[in-house]
Structure 1
Amino acid sequence: MASDGSISRMLVSGRILYGERVRDALVRHLEKDLGPLALPHIPPNPSPFTIAEYFPDPEISGFVDPRHHAVSLAYVIPVSGDCTPTQEALNLAWFTPAEAASSKIAADMTGGQDRLLRLGLAHVGKLP
């Protein structure tokens, strides 16, 4: 669900809790959104492929969060298990890289997450 209450496509995301390691936060958010059987492959010391700054003003970075300024560490995490929508996820959809990079999917995403998705695809050499 988008910050304005509307339903949109979203990448797995969330905050790091005080005192929590980044890897533990990744595990927690992946399990929360994809279910306990997703079996994510997270390296012992994960490194983000990019850092995105979200601002209330869309003109600043193109990444928008109307609530506050936020810093996002973005990761590409492969999963090999069964993903089931839980908690905030209403549904899960799998796309080919070409489908994921399409303008149709971009139109369903908010806050610049379509740009983040394209950056992730480029990082793994799958941007069409």
Structure 2
Amino acid sequence: MTDTTPGWLTRDDLEEARARMPVLYVEAVPVRVDDSGEVTSIGLLLRIGSDGAVSRSVVSGRVLHHERVRDALLRHLEKDLGPVALPRVPAALQPFTVAEYFPTLGDTPFHDPRQHAVSLAYIVPVAGDCRPRQDALDLVWFSPEEASSPMVLNEMPGGRGTLLRQALAHVGRLS
């Protein structure tokens, strides 16, 4: 069945596009901040992969054709964190890093066996009640020290542990 939502590709068309060109993604590391703006906790999603493995991840998803990056970021934040997460996307939409995911291991720290993807990564403070939806089982809040522990980072496949370390370093919270 073909999804008729504008901007979405059929499963076959998506497979073909992934085989021919990089796909643009956004990723967001949800954080809680104190009154001075310092990061106090990091939210990581708990997911079950197609292979049945449980892993941790950040908010992530494709940017649709003719969709602004800001709109894609907000759409994926709502999809993964729920409608009352109250994300505060910065006015200047400068990512803290650009991650390139390759289908071959070793080209970069980031790996996605399905495709070559380019991801704009953001740190997004959230102030509301986060209740995971879609394919996420749970959202767990970690202190920056806990989030940077080898135990947590090793639960993040595809290089997302590296992405989380970069986010923590960006906000001065890498232990």
Asked if these proteins are the same fold (TM beyond 0.5), I'd say yes
With structure 1 as the length reference, what TM-score do the two structures score? 0.95
Verify the 8 A CA contact 1:3 1:65 in the aligned structure 2.
no
Q: Which residue of 2 aligns with 1:74?
A: 121
The match for 2:86 among 39, 46, 59 is: 39
The answer as to 2:55 corresponding to 1:8 is: yes
Percentage of matched positions with identical amino acids? 60
Determine if the alignment matches structure 1 residue 56 to structure 2 residue 103: yes
Q: Does 1:125 align with 2:168?
A: no
Partner of 2:28: none
Between 1:4-13 and 1:72-81, the stretch displaced more is 4-13
Cα distance in 1 between the residues matched to 2:146 and 2:73: 25
User: Cα distance 1:121–1:98, how it changes in 2: closer, same or farther (>3 A)?
Assistant: same
Instruction: Give the aligned partner of residue 113 of structure 1.
Output: 160
Displaced runs of 4+ in structure 1, greater than 2 A?
A: 1-7
Please state whether the residue corresponding to 1:90 is helix, strand or coil.
strand
- The runs of 5 or more residues in structure 1 that have no matched partner are none
State the Cα distance separating 1:3 from its structure 2 match.
5.8
* TM-score (structure 2 length as normaliser): 0.70
Gaps of 5+ in 2: 1-47
1:5 CA drift (Å) = 4.9
* Equivalent pairs, count: 128
Cα deviation for residue 2 of structure 1 reads 3.6
SS at match of 1:14: strand
What's the secondary structure of 2:118's corresponding residue? strand
